[in-house]
Structure 1
């Protein structure tokens, strides 16, 4: 089996991600893209043991640590980590907060990359375990170290909320978002409170409450702590909310605000919450709004021109591909739409995203209004089944 990191001879810190045994285990599993069941099979342990280890409910026995080490091919590093973890108080790790923060910032970036490519199921356990460690560390830290740790915990909570939303659990998403606000305030950053309103607008969008979308977006834009990034996010949600309501004029005004605020972001060094605005393509957002306004031909043309420049992660590409297919179906170009869907369905199955499945449901609704061949009908039915989850 391939080793996860460098071979024996280097220190644990260079071979394993930072954290206690449970966090390291969950992070290594996420890197490999293994489910709990798959890892349990490879390590010859029970799924319950894996969950207990990753959540910190149980400490590993030497035998279990050795089995995990063998499954990952970490050359004894996990056995050594398990042994060292049994001798000291966990709170000692906060004495030097700098390495803890830097290490978990790297892990957060890595888990976000995994989440964007594989969906929530491979990263949620890791996120929750690390959040537990950071909040424990923040409770024992002082001064600037305390603020840094709480702010990082807030960032983990915010992304955990996003993963809960991707898993189709809006109530859990709101709970983690509210925790992010509370912990961000402890870290001295109030901007997360403004961004939380953007997240609430997005949740409302996916439950079809356009009034709430616009209300939360406007509140986010007017929040005292809102910076250009958050105002751009808010304008984007507002544009999509107005488009869903069929108000083309208000949608156009919101798109202009989005472009204006996005232009302010360049060089902005304030903390960023949510997707990076500079990675977004304003024309794709415009295309999405045109789709909601049922301007199918214009939306299809915009998607065709700008979708190749969409973010590289699987989630974003699948989302915009389905939107393009929906626009094509609406423009009575069902053959072209089905070609895109057929190529995208394997990705949608892999990432298992509730938000992408919702987009797929919109495609099904539009496609079923068109005359379809038997093969196309089979593809539409398969899409409908996947959209339901």
Structure 2
């Protein structure tokens, strides 16, 4: 198996059957297969012996593949002729109508979104963003031509892809692009008859503001999300989470505690049915992880370290991004207690994942660790690790 594919947690495409190719036109399928393998555009171009520009143009829908390029891509992905056949079908003008009339294909795109989210959590935004953009283009074109319930389903699906595009833009460190995609998600959701995305988008804006260090704006957006008439208990829980973390960073323990109580109350309202339409499911250990993170923000390092020690484990989602994020937070709490040996062991084990995922939010967590650890009189080996962390955090 290809090393990148092992890291991404997905097997290579191998010799495909018709069920192995995701739905979509040639560019969407190419980008999704590339994301599955964990290949960069450069690596894909090298393996197919074509230019990087050709790969980008194909994935973004700017060019149709020539027979030779289609055959080269087919060989690179060992698609057993299916990519060639897909290219032969061309970018049919009727593809929008075909998608609009086909519930199974809509379900296929939903599966692709789940797959791309899994890859993104393990490898970061660079491998999945071209696929997301291509699919949004197809879905918005299709939604404009469809009617009735099928139109609503397509716009809601486009909204989900746009919301995830916003998250990936934030992970890439582009807050303006993140807001642009989030606003598109709201517009698509409204066209699909679902106003809850407008409420959830406010929690996303709170997160973006918090990532920029604007805690006042983060609290304001979180409060707006909680009061939004379309907010569900899960969305209100996400809003309370953002408010609690922002209050903690401002040093307001009382307001942070109130937000934590609201979080627990809204989590208790969740019936635990199907996954929420917007935002990740809130797991059983989320309350403990959130409380530990708030204690860290309040610089109560002892209780934070103790709580992370008990909560970091089964409560942490098993994707690379989440594991790395909470591991670095635990290390930051230990550094605040002058337990640099323990803190550096955790960070040293986590740095490879952070390098792979290349997430702006992870780099921000790493910068907090550096800020806390550097003044603690580290030894030569510890200082080398802190310097390496600083370079990665600012790179």
Same fold (TM over 0.5): yes
Provide, for residues 227-282 of structure 1, a one-character-per-residue CA deviation record: whole Å limited to 9, x for no partner: 00100000001101110111111111111110110111133458521221136521
Whether the 8 Å CA contact 1:54–1:126 is kept in 2: the answer is yes
**Structure 1 residues 181 and 85 mapped into 2: Cα distance closer, same or farther (>3 Å)?**
same
* Residue number in structure 2 paired with 1:149: 154
2:381 counterpart of 1:370: no
* Residue number in structure 2 paired with 1:133: 138
- Distance in 2 (CA, whole Å) between partners of 1:241 and 1:366 is 19
* Residue number in structure 2 paired with 1:339: 345
Secondary structure in structure 1 of the residue aligned to 2:230: coil
Which stretch of the first structure deviates more once superposed, 264-273 or 212-221? 264-273
Q: 2:251 aligns with which of 229, 246, 251?
A: 246
Pairing of 1:153-164 with structure 2 (within 5 A): 153-164=158-169
State the shift of 1:89 in Å: 3.3
2:288 counterpart of 1:299: no
- Distance in 2 (CA, whole Å) between partners of 1:4 and 1:333 is 42
- Distance in 2 (CA, whole Å) between partners of 1:374 and 1:165 is 35
| RMSD (Å), alpha carbons | 1.6
Whether the 8 Å CA contact 1:235–1:255 is kept in 2: the answer is yes
* Residue number in structure 2 paired with 1:208: 213
Q: 2:225 aligns with which of 220, 235, 239?
A: 220
- Distance in 2 (CA, whole Å) between partners of 1:16 and 1:46 is 23
Provide, for residues 189-223 of structure 1, a one-character-per-residue CA deviation record: whole Å limited to 9, x for no partner: 00000011100110111111111111111100000
* Residue number in structure 2 paired with 1:384: 390
How many residues are treated as equivalent by the alignment?
386
- Distance in 2 (CA, whole Å) between partners of 1:360 and 1:182 is 35
Unaligned 5+ segments in structure 2 are: 3-10
Secondary structure in structure 1 of the residue aligned to 2:50: coil
* Residue number in structure 2 paired with 1:326: 332
* Residue number in structure 2 paired with 1:96: 101
TM-score by length of 2: 0.95
* Residue number in structure 1 paired with 2:39: 34
Q: 1:353 aligns with which of 346, 350, 359?
A: 359
Whether the 8 Å CA contact 1:94–1:141 is kept in 2: the answer is no
- Distance in 1 (CA, whole Å) between partners of 2:94 and 2:275 is 35
Q: 1:24 aligns with which of 12, 26, 29?
A: 29
State the shift of 1:92 in Å: 3.3
Secondary structure in structure 2 of the residue aligned to 1:368: helix
Secondary structure in structure 1 of the residue aligned to 2:39: coil
Q: 2:290 aligns with which of 257, 274, 285?
A: 285
**Structure 1 residues 228 and 87 mapped into 2: Cα distance closer, same or farther (>3 Å)?**
closer
Secondary structure in structure 2 of the residue aligned to 1:68: helix
Provide, for residues 118-166 of structure 1, a one-character-per-residue CA deviation record: whole Å limited to 9, x for no partner: 0000000000000000001101100000000000000000000000000
- Distance in 2 (CA, whole Å) between partners of 1:6 and 1:383 is 37
Provide, for residues 267-323 of structure 1, a one-character-per-residue CA deviation record: whole Å limited to 9, x for no partner: 345852122113652101100000000000110111111111210000000000000
Pairing of 1:38-53 with structure 2 (within 5 A): 38-53=43-58
- Distance in 1 (CA, whole Å) between partners of 2:276 and 2:347 is 37
TM-score by length of 1: 0.96
Whether the 8 Å CA contact 1:97–1:149 is kept in 2: the answer is no
* Residue number in structure 2 paired with 1:112: 117
**Structure 1 residues 378 and 5 mapped into 2: Cα distance closer, same or farther (>3 Å)?**
closer
Pairing of 1:169-208 with structure 2 (within 5 A): 169-208=174-213
**Structure 1 residues 270 and 41 mapped into 2: Cα distance closer, same or farther (>3 Å)?**
closer
Which stretch of the first structure deviates more once superposed, 196-205 or 280-289? 280-289
Unaligned 5+ segments in structure 1 are: none
State the shift of 1:95 in Å: 4.5
- Distance in 2 (CA, whole Å) between partners of 1:155 and 1:125 is 16
Secondary structure in structure 1 of the residue aligned to 2:89: helix
Whether the 8 Å CA contact 2:99–2:142 is kept in 1: the answer is yes
**Structure 1 residues 95 and 227 mapped into 2: Cα distance closer, same or farther (>3 Å)?**
closer
